[in-house]
Structure formats: C-alpha cells, structure tokens
Amino acid sequence: MTEYDKLYIDGAWVPSTGQETIEVINPSTEQVIASVPAGTPADVDRAVAAAKTAFETWGLTGSEERGKYVQAIAEGLAARSEEIAQTISDELGMPLMWSNMIQAGLPAGNMAGYVQILDEFVFEEQVGNSLVVKEPVGVVGAITPWNYPLHQVVAKLAPALAAGCTVVLKPSEVTPLNAFILAEIIDSSGLPAGVFNLVTGTGPVVGEAIASHPDVDMVSFTGSTRAGKRVTELGAPSVKRVHLELGGKSANVFLDDANFEAAVAPGVIFGCYLNSGQTCSALTRMVVPRNRQDEVVALAKAAAESIAVGPGNSDAQLGPLVSAVQRERVRGYIQKGIDEGATLVTGGVDAPEGLDTGYFVQPTVFADVTSDMTIAQEEIFGPVLAIMPYDDEDDALRIANDSIYGLSGGVQSSDIERAKTFARKMRTGQVNINEGAYNLQAPFGGYKQSGNGRELGKFGLEEFLETKAMQLP
C-alpha cells in the first residue's frame, strides 16, 4: 500500500492541515492500495492564495514562454506513460491495454497539442479603432471526475496554463493517484510556484470550498448533473465563471440504410461499453428501425457476449465498475429495466461467472425499450445498452432528442449527406457519424443539462480567456 501524505501547494509538498485520509481501492480486487490526504477548506485557502499571487506574474508571461512549460509537462507525461497507465488501471479497473491507449495516451497527446495551438492562436486583433485582446481569466478551480481521471485533468489544465491562468486542482477522491504523478511531473518541469496546486479531498469539503471561494475566478467542473448544479449555486454569489461538463444519455441512431452488420458491434463494444460504460458520452441508446430490431438484437447480443470481462491486470476488454456503490447502482437500473417491461436480451444483475471478487457487472442489452422507461432517460454509467425501435425518421429524431441531456450522439447511414442532415437536427454537442474517430482538436461539451462551455482544441483555450477592448484614438 502506498501512502501519499502531502499536498502540492505553492511549488512544494506540504502536509494537510487536517488529519484524515482517504483510502483508494482497487476495484478488481476490492483491496485498499493507497491513501491520500483528505484536504480541508484551510488547504484550499492556502492553495488559492498561492495561485492568486502566482497569477500576478504568470498571467503576464508571453505565450512562447508558457508553451515551453506546456511542452515540458507533455514530455513528462509521455516519459511516464507506462506508470500512469498501470496506476489508473489499478485505481479505476480499466484493463491495461485500454489504459495505455486512453488513460495515458490521450492526456499526453492533448497536452502536447496545446503547444501548437499556442503558436497559432490570435491573442489580439485590430477591430476598427479598437485593439481587442484575449487575457487569462485568472485563478481556476478544476474539479475532475474518476472515470477518465488524468484525461479530464489535462483537458482543463493544459488550456488553462496555455491561457496564462493558475490552477487549483481537486481530482476525484476515488481515482486520485494519477494526479500525484502529474504533480511530480509539473514540479520537475520548473513551472513557477503557485501556478499549479493539488488539493485532494471530497466534493462536499474541498470541492465546495473551491467552488465558493471568492478568489477563484472560474470553476471548471466535470461530473454528474446533480453535482454540477451545486457547483453553479456555490459560484453564483461571486458571479464567477462556471464551466460544466456533465451527464449524458446519448442516442446512436441507425437510419434504415445503415450497414447493420458492420456498425452494431462497434456501437455496442466501443460506443456503449468502453470503460465499462463509465463514459459520459457513451452511446447508451441504440435507436433502430422497428422492422430491423430483431436483426439488431441478434447482432448486439453476439457482440455483448463476445466481450471478455476481467480485472485490470488481464487481457480483458471490459473491467469492473469503479466501486461497490457504482456496481449496486448499475444493478439497480438493470432490475428496473426488467421490472418496467424491457426485454432482457443478455446480461443481468448477477455477477459475471467466475468473478465474484471485484465490482463486476455483466455486459447487458435490453430491447423493446420505450422513452418512458427509466433506463431510457437516466444515466446508468455502466455496461447497459437500451435498444429502442422507431417507426419512421421523424420518430427516430423524437426519440433521440427526448432527453434532458445533449452531450453526444451517433448517426449510422450509407448516405453521408443524409446522416449529416439528421445530425444537424440532434440537440447535442457532438455527433459521431459512421463511427467517426475521436478528435482531440474538436470541441467537446453539451447542450441542455449536459452542461455549458467546450473543452479540447482551441475551443478549450477560449474558455479560459477574457476579452478586453482598448478603444484607440
């Protein structure tokens, strides 16, 4: 067991003002593997004060100088990628093959990408007799989730640093270990003291202290919609900028000319089940022509039952859920789907065979799901697919948009223009057409109760900038 007993504040490793610790559990084994400090509001005060002081200098540095630090951090992430992948596999449960590609690969690539973005971004322009300049927003409180822990940290940290902001980070207390590796990398990069600060702890204590702090100029939060509403409430008295990336219940729409044989299996395995379904943008509703549902059900059943389920240190495709609480939550939704009359195609509430230890859930598929069912409306955050039949294209669009969420979506069609036309009508921030590849330079964020603002690429950088106009004679 590894014990982390210090926080990273003002360029130094310092003890928390509190005495409590938080245990980190390996979801594959249910064993405690580490502990981290349970930070306090006093720790947040210290970190914010350091960030505020550091901003006075860091906010005035040139983009070229900031880019050098961003590059150094990117190189540090790449150099320690194997350690990062193993650490996240241990604390989250994602099988190591995926953890290497996604949990370690994406953050390193994203951080490196902001070096080029800085080179190309226009921070000032002449508009008539005005000089319009883009300036850093100030001290940023970054509150990040457990499902893609380092990726979501870097999605906030990289553009914030590139913009000239200083940062106080609270990673998820469920998967915090990767953030300590990041802090070590930042410490060795020579980034000026106070520009980055790490305070671990729980949401109700550390998260709320950050969101309500009068000297935090902006909060960037990724997590549940319920928690996002709370962050917004806490930020309101100081009218700070609040950026939210929240839940989703995304629809993957198969138009009647889609290649079902080619597209259903990827839609199940990657679209819905990636990271054991613990993905806010997962395509958890598969919307299909009613007269093709039986065909889709057979293909989805075969895909789900082909997936190897196992611990993070195995060659499995699907690992455990992150915690016992999450496992019971997902099992509850599966039971509710059964109780409300959906057809259970495969999977169910029982543990996968031979996996009684670990927080495992069977890959599950439901058919005959209607929009009034709980499993069609609420974010499950587990490997549960709802197949929903439609009668015509207007009905398909109605089903797709019948959600409080609007984070992602998919359209499958042999006619790319037809797919694009349909995608334009979907009330969602991102649409994958015919399994279009993930793009770190494209904006990511949601409509409706999936949040506001955008991450990634130049769009992510703009979130951390204020706009000033200087009227010239």
Q: What tokens does 259 get?
A: 């290649």
Catalytically annotated residue among 173, 280, 379, 463: 280
Euclidean distance between CA atoms 323 and 407, whole angstroms: 24
What ranges in 19-145 are assigned the alpha helix state H? 41-58, 63-79, 81-92, 96-98, 105-120
Any catalytic annotation for residue 245? yes
Q: What is the DSSP string of 277-299?
A: G--TT---EEEEEGGGHHHHHHH
Euclidean distance between CA atoms 352 and 355, whole angstroms: 6
Euclidean distance between CA atoms 86 and 104, whole angstroms: 9
Q: Which of 277, 382, 27, 24 lies closest to 174, judged by CA?
A: 24
Residue type, 74: A
How many Cβ atoms are within 10 Å of 192's Cβ, its own excluded? 14
Euclidean distance between CA atoms 376 and 368, whole angstroms: 11
Q: Please tell me what DSSP assigns to residue 360.
A: -
Phi/psi of residue 176, each to 5°?
-95, -10
Euclidean distance between CA atoms 314 and 97, whole angstroms: 9
HSE-CB of 23 using CA atoms within 13 angstroms: 9
Any catalytic annotation for residue 280? yes
Q: What tokens does 224 get?
A: 């549940």
Catalytically annotated residue among 91, 173, 208, 245: 245
| Contact by Cβ (8 Å): 205, 20 | no
Q: Which of 345, 377, 337 lies closest to 363, judged by CA?
A: 345
- The residue ranges of DSSP E strands in 153-262, in sequence order, are 166-170, 196-198, 218-222, 241-245, 251-254
Catalytic residues: 245, 280
